[in-house]
Amino acid sequence: MGAVTWFKEPVPTGMTERVNALCQVLKSHNVDHKRSQSIDPGKIIYDDPFQIGVIGTTRVADTSSRGRGLGPTSAGSKRSRKDTQ
């Protein structure tokens, strides 16, 4: 089961600006997205001043049209997997 990262509150100003810019890119390409908050996101496996990495207690099934499964969100995980598009 892969890890998910969450920003801590309050999100630093510089990071908020970057996330807002990313959301604008997603919106411009009609990519659905949402902001989620949790008081109990899961088991913390990474912690720094800005974010935490957690293993969630539950995961939802992949319902994308691409049929990709759930996987880790580490820096190299997406580049190391062979995509079948």
Instruction: Quote the pLDDT of residue 29.
Output: 96
pLDDT at 63: 58
Q: What is the largest CA-CA distance in the chain?
A: 38
Q: What is the pLDDT of residues 23-67, one digit of tens each?
A: 999 999 999 888 788 888 899 999 998 889 999 877 666 555 555
